[in-house]
Structure 1
Amino acid sequence: MSRPLRWPLLIIVTLVATLAITGFASLGTWQLRRLHWKIDLIERVDARVHAPAQPAPGPADWPAITRPRDEYRHVTLHGTFLNDDEVQVYTPSDFGPAYWVMTPLRRDDDSIVMVNRGVVPEAQRDPATRTAAPTGPQTVTGLLRLPEDQGWLFSQDNRPEDDAWYRRDIAAIAAAKGLGHVAPYFVDQEKTDSDTWPRGGQTVVSFRNAHLSYAITWFALALMVLAGYALFLRHELGRSRGGSGES
């Protein structure tokens, strides 16, 4: 026996299904756009890392420096290390608990660039336990990095008053050391000698790219909702016609 369609239920289910399908499909499309953006970013950064080293930006160029355009540029700079103002920034590493050795380098124009000379294990944190720091004019080649002035979830805050550092916040380090005319970036020095500390060349250039799997997930959810809606319609139409669609 046929029965009338349950229009209120049909309208509600149709609206819910339409919203869900549209929402899931939109999220999938957004993830595909993010995928193309991430692939382009990876290609651009890879090109910067492997390009010939160019002079590091001087003071006139500092205001125009941006993360999308400049981070991981392969640069070179000349100057003299201010070894007495070295700062160690805690980091986990392949060597266990370790520290980045951040040392100011004063250039010929009297500007200062913080150089991450590399990593040292906790046992070599004290400069007296390592090879003597370089003195006199130096040439440094490495990758331009932007400051870590924002904390991450569960990360500890820098405590300049205790000389305890957990982020490479250049402005905070410069203020603690009383340094002026400091570049708004630092340079991760390349590996020079694998048998000495600090050990450069430890920059990890890696970008998580899970956008394709996210897109597939959202589109799959949209298809599941569509399939469920189709089954619902089949059931309702079968019920109204008194056919086999009635359970």
Structure 2
Amino acid sequence: MNDTTTRQPSAAGFGVFTLILIAVFVGLGLWQLQRRVEKHALIATLDARLAAAPEALPQPSAWPKLTSAKDEFRRVTFTATYAREPDAMVYGSGSGVRADISGPGTWAFLPARLASGETVVINTGFVQNTMQDRGFEDRVAGRLVTGAPVTLSGYIRFPERPGTLTPREDLPKRLWFARDHGAMAAALGWGEVAPFYIDLESPVPDSGTPKPGPLQVHLKDDHMQYAITWFSLAAAVVIAFGVWWRGQSRKAA
């Protein structure tokens, strides 16, 4: 009698615990499927933006309304003049949006002024293996600063905030480790800048350095594998409970 009363609460508790695990695993699997739908929609949106013809840069009055969600990677074209200000370097070990970039180097950031007076920061392209060579970087950036207006085409990008493990900037070398163009502007005296920067697509300098180019967004899509994993864990819990229950039933018999 005591064995039966002890076993029944135990079986009930284990059953409730099993149901909770199944619900959690199934819920996580469904969440991954939803994330997959959202990721595919995002990929389609970004692909459409990257494939669209360049449009005019939004007017400065519209800049506060631009957001990463609806404006990141929009292709734009405009005329500006590179300012005679110190450039900034951002270290990179490759690129997730440029298939033609590999190995260590730096991205050369320069301020450019519109005819209306506003300043837009330009990521003018990649410079291979120059993280420590400030003199070479200065010469590369200097060739772009001609004092003449130039028509630029590129992609609207928003600043990358440094994480807890991101190294601090090296101000003497004007070297950053995150694409935080606002921090660059404040440290180097560029003045007030647009809330976004431009990843330059063209023109390409005659020397090929810095190296701008078209972007290709490749977002990781492992959500189906994750969903299958969570559903498999739910099925494993059901099987384990069935085996345990069968064993308990045999003992009771």
Pick the TM interval, shorter chain: 0.7 to 0.9
Structure 2 residue 188 is the aligned partner of structure 1 residue 187: no
Residue aligned with 2:111, SS: strand
Letter in 2 for 1:29: L
- 1:127-174 Cα offsets, whole Å, 9 max, x none, are 3268822520111101111011x2236321224365221112121111
- 1:209-231 Cα offsets, whole Å, 9 max, x none, are 11111111001000000111112
Supply the distance in 2 between the matched residues of 1:131 and 1:160 (Cα, whole angstroms). 19
- Cα offset, 1:76, TM superposition: 1.0
Which residue in 1 is equivalent to 2:50?
Answer: 49
Residue aligned with 1:72, SS: coil
Q: Which is further off, 53-62 or 27-36?
A: 53-62
Supply the distance in 2 between the matched residues of 1:87 and 1:231 (Cα, whole angstroms). 64
Structure 2 residue 227 is the aligned partner of structure 1 residue 215: yes
Structure 2 residue 111 is the aligned partner of structure 1 residue 111: no
Supply the distance in 2 between the matched residues of 1:221 and 1:167 (Cα, whole angstroms). 39
Distance 1:175-1:102 versus aligned 2 partners, 3 A rule? same
Letter in 2 for 1:112: T
Residue aligned with 1:208, SS: coil
Structure 2 residue 98 is the aligned partner of structure 1 residue 97: no
Residue aligned with 2:15, SS: helix
Supply the distance in 1 between the matched residues of 2:203 and 2:114 (Cα, whole angstroms). 20
- Cα offset, 1:101, TM superposition: 0.8
- Cα offset, 1:202, TM superposition: 6.3
- Cα offset, 1:181, TM superposition: 3.3
Which residue in 2 is equivalent to 1:245?
Answer: none
- 1:27-80 Cα offsets, whole Å, 9 max, x none, are 111111111110000000000011011112232111111111111111112110
Supply the distance in 2 between the matched residues of 1:167 and 1:221 (Cα, whole angstroms). 39
Q: Which is further off, 185-194 or 76-85?
A: 185-194
Q: Which is further off, 204-213 or 121-130?
A: 121-130
1:1-247 equivalences under 5 Å are 4=4, 6-93=7-94, 94=101, 96-121=103-128, 122=130, 125-128=136-139, 132-133=143-144, 135=146, 136-148=148-160, 150-152=161-163, 154-160=165-171, 163-193=174-204, 195-201=207-213, 203=215, 205-240=217-252, 242=253
TM-score between both structures, scaled by the size of structure 1 = 0.88
- Cα offset, 1:85, TM superposition: 2.7
Residue aligned with 1:79, SS: strand
For structure 2, the residue ranges without an aligned partner over 5 or more in a row are 95-100
- Cα offset, 1:108, TM superposition: 1.1
Which residue in 1 is equivalent to 2:98?
Answer: none
Supply the distance in 2 between the matched residues of 1:129 and 1:57 (Cα, whole angstroms). 29
Letter in 1 for 2:159: P
For structure 1, the residue ranges without an aligned partner over 5 or more in a row are 243-247
Supply the distance in 1 between the matched residues of 2:211 and 2:170 (Cα, whole angstroms). 25
Residue aligned with 2:176, SS: coil
Instruction: Give identity over the alignment, percent.
Output: 31
Distance 1:179-1:126 versus aligned 2 partners, 3 A rule? closer
Supply the distance in 2 between the matched residues of 1:198 and 1:80 (Cα, whole angstroms). 17
Residue aligned with 2:169, SS: coil
